[in-house]
Amino acid sequence: MALPADLPPLDVDEGHAEECRRSFAAFVRRAWPLAGTTEPLIWGWHLDALCSHIQAVEEGQIRKLLINIAPGMGKSKLVSVLYPAWSWTRTPTRQFLCASYAYDLAERDSVYCRQLVESEWYTRLFMHGDWRLKPDQNTKSFWSNTVEGHRISTGVGGTGKRADRIVIDDPLSAVDAHSKAARETAIGWIGQTLVTRFNDQATSGMVMIMQRLHEEDPSAFVLAGGDWEHLCLPSEFESDRRCVTYRSVKVPANGTPAHVEREEFWRDPRTVPGELLFPEKFPQSVLDDAKRPNALGAYGFAGQHQQRPSPAGGGMFRAEDWRFWKPDGTAASVSPRPAGCYDGPARPLPELDSVIISVDANFKAKATADPVAMLVIGSSGADRFILDRRWGPFGFARSVSILRDLVAAWPAVSKVLVEDAANGSAIIESLQREIVGIVAVKPEGGKESRAWAVQAQVEAGQCYLPDGAPWLGEFIEEFSAFPKGRHDDQVDAWSQGLLELRHPLGVLDAWARVTG
């Protein structure tokens, strides 16, 4: 490969090569034109942050690194093309396994990386006859050098030889983020396959880079493990989510062996809310366009640019739209309202026209099961009030007991709606001769379409929660994350109840085929 005109001449001294070996950022600046693209390098401080963290992985100061950053920031070239090539300038015996959600993308970056390593600039500066590429081990997905270093490419679900460094570039596509099966496949592959491919469990390192796409995406999975360092770079700064990272360093001690301590490594330099990450390429006008419904929209922008699975304050159901009630209308005295909520006075509970219970049941009672949601909902004109709530991974017997208690506690209940599915069918059968007004509901359409049918009532400020209830945070969080959240049971019970209050039986029959 010919040397680009804007690179230093090939007769540069060893000092230039040493600078590139010492600093990944310096290497990136020099090698970028040779890394398989004609796009010019536009440097931003985010690249300094990415380079310093990747270098910390290479040097063993960070073992497992998760990077959340928007597309278009140069991330694939950095981690999949430039990083393995740079590592070999220092440790040519290093073995890499590079993976992506799509095999063809992983293979593409493998080709770009090999082109860089074969370039005249790279070979003259960094090989010096000590090592070279093996001519007989040269496929698009697997190539190696004469000192047993190698670079293997694979897609989700694939495996390969063991490695010193594993690089995962986008383990989940934006399209597949809505598929539970695809998310579970990617997570299972990371947690059960890739982590077993380390050459040395104590010293090998891993880098995963992606944008947030769902509350149960691979990022959430690795962060739940607690042993990953997290570099999170939202396109617009959010002060309450300011990123701070740490690294491990050896500290010498007088007369004793050095020990390892964790120290602060980096913090987001931005201080002003809304301050941009990369204004040279993504100015405010571009980001505002991305937020439009006919572009990424609120949810897409929140995930891909802000690195949160749902928009701040909620998407379909915003935290600021809920209102609050209290028997005497005074301010909450139990606990403050969740962040972002309406801060006006609580409304006194009015005389109610109707009170119902809406139940969304589950299949089994295990810690991993979907929870059961039971909501006592009252109506007064166009306004709706949650009067009581039970939520948890209850089994059949526990669900029956709790429902009995709710009916006894709220004698004004005129109807109990139970979705005729999962444990709900058994609950109906068990209680239909005991509880007056128990109704089996077989809703048509998806959860999301039913939620949209009642969303306007929340947005209009017609839906009230009990001020000071200890469960408000998890309730509002579930609604704010819907439909990308971990749970949707309370949303389903809520929409089922509001649709009944809007169209009591008769009309509800047409929508949901109610029997009872």
List pLDDT tens digits, range 184-212: 999 999 988 888 889 998 889 999 999 99
**Same domain (yes/no): 219, 367:** no
C-alpha Rg value of the chain to the nearest Å: 28
Q: Is residue 296 part of a domain?
A: no
**Same domain (yes/no): 443, 335:** yes
Q: Is residue 304 part of a domain?
A: no
**Same domain (yes/no): 345, 456:** yes
Q: Please state, in angstroms and rounded to a whole number, the distance separating the CA atoms of residues 98 and 374.
A: 46
**Same domain (yes/no): 345, 215:** no
What percentage of the chain reaches a pLDDT higher than 70? 89
pLDDT band per the 50, 70, 90 thresholds, residue 257: confident
| Residue 211, burial from CB neighbour count under 10 angstroms (0-12, 13-18, 19+) | buried
List pLDDT tens digits, range 266-279: 999 999 999 999 99
Q: Is residue 150 part of a domain?
A: yes
Half-sphere exposure of 70 (CA within 13 A, CB side): 23
Question: What DSSP string runs through 249-307?
Answer: EEEEETTEEEEEEEEEEEE----STT-BS-TTTS-HHHHHHHTSTTTTHHHHHHHHTT-
Question: What DSSP string runs through 172-222?
Answer: S-TTGGG-HHHHHHHHHIIIIIGGG-BS-TTT-EEEEEE----TTSHHHHH
List pLDDT tens digits, range 80-92: 999 999 999 999 9
List pLDDT tens digits, range 423-432: 788 888 888 7
**pTM of this prediction?**
0.68
Tally of structural domains, the chain: 2
**pLDDT greater than 80 at residue 160:** no
**Same domain (yes/no): 251, 124:** yes
Q: Is residue 356 part of a domain?
A: yes
**Same domain (yes/no): 226, 360:** no
List pLDDT tens digits, range 400-457: 999 999 999 999 999 999 987 777 888 888 887 788 888 888 876 678 778 878 888 8
Q: According to the per-residue pLDDT averaged within each range, which of 47-56, 216-225, 305-314, 436-445 is highest?
A: 47-56
**Same domain (yes/no): 453, 373:** yes
| Residue 272, burial from CB neighbour count under 10 angstroms (0-12, 13-18, 19+) | exposed
Q: What is the mean pLDDT of the chain?
A: 86
Q: Is residue 481 part of a domain?
A: yes
Instruction: Tell me which of 96 and 39 has the higher pLDDT.
Output: 96
**pLDDT greater than 50 at residue 359:** yes
Q: Please state, in angstroms and rounded to a whole number, the distance separating the CA atoms of residues 384 and 377.
A: 7
**Same domain (yes/no): 345, 460:** yes
Domain extent at residue 194 = 14-267
In 396-464, which ranges are continuous DSSP H helix?
396-409, 423-431, 447-459
**Same domain (yes/no): 41, 186:** yes
Residues 207, 213, 217, 223, CA torsion sign: positive
Select from 232, 267, 302 the last residue of a domain. Answer: 267
Overall average pLDDT of the 333-361 stretch: 86
Q: Is residue 272 part of a domain?
A: no
Give the pLDDT score at 312: 63
Q: Please state, in angstroms and rounded to a whole number, the distance separating the CA atoms of residues 69 and 52.
A: 15
Q: Is residue 72 part of a domain?
A: yes
Give the pLDDT score at 429: 80
**Same domain (yes/no): 342, 225:** no
**Same domain (yes/no): 39, 162:** yes
Q: Is residue 298 part of a domain?
A: no
Give the pLDDT score at 430: 81
**pLDDT greater than 60 at residue 376:** yes
**pLDDT greater than 70 at residue 159:** yes
Q: Could you tell me the two tokens for 355?
A: 């009170």
**pLDDT greater than 80 at residue 341:** yes
CATH (domain of 331): 3.30.420.240
CATH (domain of 175): 3.40.50.300
Which of 65-79, 273-287, 429-443 is the least confident region? 429-443
List pLDDT tens digits, range 130-141: 889 998 777 888
**Same domain (yes/no): 237, 121:** yes
Give the pLDDT score at 369: 61
Q: 473 and 479 in contact (C-beta within 8 Å)? A: no
